[in-house]
Amino acid sequence: MIELTETVRDAFARAYLEDVSGNVARLPLAQIATFAEAVERAYRDDRQVFVIGNGGSATTASHMACDLAKNIYPAGAAPGVRRFRVLSLTDNVALITAIANDCGYDRVFAEQLSYYVRPGDLVIAVSASGNSPNVLEGLAAARAAGAHTAALLGFGGGQARELADVTVVVDSRDYGHVEDAHLVVNHLVTAWMRRVVVDVHRD
């Protein structure tokens, strides 16, 4: 048994942070730029954005919806500044459990999208593996409805890579590292959208 000394903990923390830093440094800039462009286009065209994901990625979906709906406006933004219509489909527990109970868990996002999504909207999937059946069915439903699709992925992208118009794939097969990098991309895109909002509403 390894004695869990302060030195061992320090070394573990250093190694973890070095891995995360390496993943962030290797993030594909061209993919991020294309992803940011898809989000920007949705705002400029006044489209609805939906975000989906499971587990830790469900909380990232909620986090992203919060940031894009609330945190992209300059301080003191005028009431007339157009808001970004962004919704996480991970947050309505009653609806999710009703769909899971009646239709199966694989349908929890596809069914919600059947109620809400319109052609030209944007559906963003967050999935470390890219192989969650409900995420795949959600992306397929979005495409069938004429929506644009984007995905934050890891583990090589999985099957979701083929269903998303735009992808950002983190170069890691560690769930924690992938999810850490997804949050970095979220905050990067949120920061970019602050500039977009200013540009759209410039006199």
Residues 26-67: tens digit of each pLDDT: 999 999 999 999 999 999 999 999 999 999 999 999 999 999
Q: Is residue 110 part of a domain?
A: yes
Give the count of domains, the chain.
1
In a domain, 195, yes or no: yes
Quick: pLDDT tens for 83-131.
Answer: 999 999 999 999 999 999 999 999 999 999 999 999 999 999 999 999 9
Tokens of 4: 């869990």
Residue 52's domain comprises: 29-200
Gap between the Cα atoms of 134 and 96, Å rounded:
11
Q: Is the pLDDT of residue 144 over 90?
A: yes
Sorting pLDDT into bands at 50, 70 and 90, what band is 4?
A: confident
In a domain, 79, yes or no: yes
Three-state DSSP state, 72: coil
For residue 95, is it within any domain? Answer: yes
Phi first, then psi: what are they for 149, rounded to 5°? -130, 145
Q: What is the pTM of this model?
A: 0.95
Q: How confident is the model at residue 6 (pLDDT cuts 50, 70, 90)?
A: confident
Assigned domain for 21 exists:
no
Residue 19 lies in a domain: no
Q: Is residue 11 part of a domain?
A: no
In a domain, 16, yes or no: no
Tokens of 116: 């809400």
For residue 80, the domain's CATH number is: 3.40.50.10490
Among candidate residues 175, 153, 166, 155, the one with its CA nearest the CA of residue 49: 166
| CA–CA distances in Å: residue 192 to residues 35, 67, 156 | 11, 12, 26
Q: Is 203 buried (19+), middle (13-18) or exposed (0-12) by CB count in 10 A?
A: exposed
